[in-house]
């Protein structure tokens, strides 16, 4: 029999690593991009595409009628937007032995992980559509995205917020939630807003003091007619600004700016296939799978009901 030495250099064989069954949390973004779109579903047997339609309002009829003479006929215009659904998904295999003998609750953990991946995927898919809108506000006096960067004047500020809200109001965009527009903003952009002295003065004098004041909470919350939601999934155009600066996109949204679609009968879901469920493809009942599947589409419904502010930030160099 071989005995472990217990001297200073002989503890490795006898000492075993303690294994904690408390699993660590995963870092997850705030998935918000699908929350504020107009929701629609395609019923069973109605194809893969959905069409939204809008009857455009004619211009005001300011010419007086001529007595006894009908005016020219007003031609009505119908605008339509289409979205075609596509399916997305991912999965992983696991063995019978892994399922039964692994220290961790493997199936439960994989179910959570794939649920998170599904939420992240659908969030980014929608984000990528809405950040391609054509109503663009370039920070301060920059003429294009490539010119953004280099000065603190090109960061998010009170002036940028006021301009975006004025643009939406001028284009008759209606508020989205609780009589407010919605702004989707990166944490680094929120950081810059808190550095603006005009914003700080608003929080100090227009808000009551106490734990609900934005300065105490560290959250911008509702400000200047916009409900601000913060997410690390906000779009960052990596190295596309002046001298390779990262350009951040802050979205300010009105009602029915965009729509999101899925199938009524094929909802987003996580799928767990137990060991032995594959029939002849798994003749010895050795394998199972965990994965997810979702049907999704997004389309901009009205370009005038959203504004994309392109700006730099005082922190970070990341691109997504």
User: What is the residue extent of each domain of the chain?
Assistant: 146-259+304-311
Residue 18: pLDDT above 90? no
pLDDT score recorded for residue 21 = 60
Nearest to 29 by CA among 217, 230, 199: 230
Give the tokens for residue 114: 């794939």
Enter the tokens of residue 6: 């217990």
Q: Which residue has the higher pLDDT, 21 or 199?
A: 199
Minimum mean pLDDT range among 21-25, 119-123, 209-213, 256-260: 21-25
Of 17-31, 118-132, 203-217, the least confident: 17-31
pLDDT tens profile 160-211:
999 999 999 999 999 999 999 999 999 999 999 999 999 998 888 777 777 7
> Does residue 255 contact residue 179 with C-beta atoms inside 8 Å?
no
**pLDDT of amino acid 128:** 98
Does 170 or 107 have the greater pLDDT score?
170
Q: Which pLDDT score, from 0 to 100, does residue 212 have?
A: 76
From residue 238, alpha-carbon distances to 174, 234, 281, 285 in Å are 32, 12, 44, 47
In sequence order, the 6+-apart residues with CB closer than 8 A to the CB of 24 are: none
What pLDDT is attached to residue 275?
92
The whole-angstrom separation of Cα 36 and Cα 268 is: 18
Q: How confident is the model at residue 135 (pLDDT cuts 50, 70, 90)?
A: very high
Q: Which of 242, 232, 209, 217 is nearest to 142 (CA)?
A: 242
**Percent share of the chain, pLDDT over 70:** 91
3-state SS class at 165:
helix
- Span 13-27, average pLDDT: 61
Residue 201 has what DSSP assignment? H
Residue 259 burial (10 A CB sphere; 0-12, 13-18, 19+)? buried
Gap between the Cα atoms of 269 and 89, Å rounded:
10
Nearest by Cα to 316 from 195, 197, 143, 192: 192
pLDDT at 303 over 90: yes
Average pLDDT, the chain: 89
pLDDT-derived band at 302, boundaries 50, 70, 90? very high
Q: How far is it between the farthest Cα atoms of the chain?
A: 119
Q: Angle CA(177)–CA(264)–CA(298) in degrees, nearest 5? A: 50
Confidence band (pLDDT; 50, 70, 90) for 4? very low
pLDDT at 301 over 90: yes
What angle (nearest 5°) sits at the alpha carbon of residue 156, between those of residues 151 and 162?
Answer: 125
pLDDT of amino acid 267: 85
d(C-alpha 243, C-alpha 312), whole Å: 12
Structural Rg of the chain based on CA atoms = 27
pLDDT at 2 over 70: no
């Amino acid at each position: 029999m071989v005995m472990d030495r217990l001297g200073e250099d002989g503890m490795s064989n006898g000492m075993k690593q303690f294994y904690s069954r408390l699993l660590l949390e995963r870092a997850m973004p705030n998935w918000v991009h699908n929350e504020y779109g107009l929701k629609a579903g395609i019923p069973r047997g109605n194809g893969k595409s959905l069409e939204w339609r809008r009857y455009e309002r004619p211009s005001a009829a300011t010419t007086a009628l001529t007595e006894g003479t009908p005016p020219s006929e007003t031609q009505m215009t119908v605008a339509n937007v289409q979205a075609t659904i596509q399916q997305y998904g991912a999965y992983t295999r696991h063995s019978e032995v892994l399922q039964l003998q692994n220290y961790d609750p493997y199936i439960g953990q994989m179910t959570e992980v794939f649920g998170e991946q599904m939420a992240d995927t659908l969030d980014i898919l929608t984000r990528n559509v809405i950040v391609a809108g054509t109503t663009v506000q370039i920070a301060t006096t920059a003429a294009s995205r490539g010119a953004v960067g280099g000065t603190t004047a090109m960061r998010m500020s009170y002036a940028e917020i006021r301009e975006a809200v004025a643009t939406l109001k001028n284009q008759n965009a209606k508020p989205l939630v609780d009589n407010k527009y919605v702004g989707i903003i990166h944490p680094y952009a929120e950081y810059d807003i808190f550095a603006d002295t005009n914003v700080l003065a608003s929080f100090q004098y227009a808000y009551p003091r106490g734990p609900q004041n934005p300065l105490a909470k560290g959250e911008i919350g509702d400000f200047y007619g916009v409900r601000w939601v913060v997410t690390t999934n906000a779009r960052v155009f990596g190295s596309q600004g002046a001298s390779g600066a990262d350009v951040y996109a802050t979205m300010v949204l009105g009602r029915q700016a965009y729509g999101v679609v899925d199938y009524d009968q094929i909802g987003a879901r996580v799928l767990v296939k137990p060991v032995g469920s594959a029939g002849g493809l798994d003749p010895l009942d050795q394998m199972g799978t965990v994965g997810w599947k979702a049907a999704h589409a997004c389309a901009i419904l009205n370009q005038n009901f959203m504004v994309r502010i392109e700006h730099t930030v005082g922190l970070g160099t990341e691109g997504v």
